Structure formats: C-alpha cells, structure tokens
Amino acid sequence: MRNRIWILAADGNTARIVKGVNLLKDERQQPEVEAFQIETKRVRDIMADKPGRSHSSVGYGRSAMEYSSNPVREEQHRFAAEIAEKLEHYALQNAFENLVICAAPKTLGDFRKLLSPQVKEKTIAEIDRNCVAVPTEQLIATVKAVVFP
C-alpha cells in the first residue's frame, strides 16, 4: 500500500474524493479534495404533474395511474453512475493505486453494481456508513480503523 490512496465518501446527493491519503502516517494530512453534488429534490418537486388517468377495462370508469418507480432514487442512481464513471476515468489514468469507499448503504449498493473491474480491483475496503459530512481528518481516522484494525 503506497501513498496514492483515495477515499470516496458518498451518499445519494453528495460525494467527495479525498486524494493522496497516506494511511501509514499519524501526522495531520492536507490531501486534495474533489467534491460533487446534485440538487436535492423531493418526490413532489420531480413529479409536479399529476399522474395520468386510465380508462377502466370494463365499464366507463377512469382511475389515476400510479408511478412505477421512485424518481428520487433514480436521480441518486444516476449520480452514483456519474461518480463511478469519473473513478473509472481516473483508474485508467493510474491516478490512484488503492481506493476506500465510505458510502451510505443504498449508495454503496449502487457502486457495487456500477464500478468497473479496474476500479473494483483497486478497492481495498468498503465501509457502509455515510461519511460525507465528516471532516477529512475524522474520515481518514475512520478509514485507518477499518483498514488497520
């Protein structure tokens, strides 16, 4: 394990990549941080229009149709796909040697499906905890505790 360790902290709307962390150092580090964020939306904001109506198969009745999916969750999945694509781009450039992912459980599940084999190969740990709002120093300490128990 060398110096080019990156930490991805993410939830459905926010992500940050902490670059160049040295987990073997005990001193304070000032790594580069790249942040990403999408606008937080609620279901009613996305679905401002009323759902369509459907004719009954028997008789003259009409009833409202239900939405078939959760649009907020779909937005979060698209966001995770963008981050996964960004990580793949970095992995192909050999920008990092190892990756640790700290993500909210649903987001971590998205990453498990979306990450390319190149990124998965470099991933040394996954932490199913939302650490997006955690200060960088505390995030590094959390990762150290998991990687070096």
Number of structural domains the chain divides into:
1
* Beta-bridge mates of residue 17: 8, 34
52 assigned to some structural domain: no
Inside any domain, residue 53: no
Asked, for residue 74, whether it belongs to a domain, the answer is yes
Dihedral sign for Cα atoms in the order 110, 115, 121, 126: negative
What distance in Å separates the CA atoms of residue 12 and residue 92, rounded to the nearest whole number?
25
Q: Considering the domain boundaries, does residue 44 fall inside one? A: no
pLDDT attached to residue 1: 46
- pLDDT for the residue 3: 58
pTM value surpassing 0.75 = yes
pLDDT tens string 13-51: 999 999 999 887 777 788 999 999 988 766 555 554 555
For residue 82, give the CATH number of its domain: 3.30.420.60
The parent domain of residue 88 ranges over: 5-38+69-147
pLDDT at 39: 81
Low pLDDT (below 50) residues in the chain: 1, 48
